Amino acid sequence: MSGHKSTYTIDVVADSAAEAIAIAAEALPRDAKVVNEEAIEGGGNVWRVTLRYTGSARRGGDVPG
């Protein structure tokens, strides 16, 4: 696994920070290892999730959620 760190930020609708982080993590590559995670509550169950991870570039395709 590469030592390169990437950051992925997305707004997610969820009931909790843990759920928002889990939803956002679905978009990461299969070999990703999350090294830092943060979920900031916005309002109306919207969370701004930032994941910092090592591994391949983020998978393409549909946005999770």
pLDDT per residue as tens digits for the range 8-39: 999 999 999 999 999 999 999 989 999 999 99
Task: Tell me what percent of the residues of the chain surpass a pLDDT of 70.
Answer: 82
The domain ranges of the chain are 5-54
Count the Cβ atoms, other than its own, within 10 Å of residue 3: 5
Tell me the average pLDDT across 47-56: 94
């701004």: which residue's tokens?
Answer: 48
How much is the pTM?
0.79
DSSP string, 17-53: HHHHHHHHHTTS-TT-EEEEEEEEEEETTEEEEEEEE
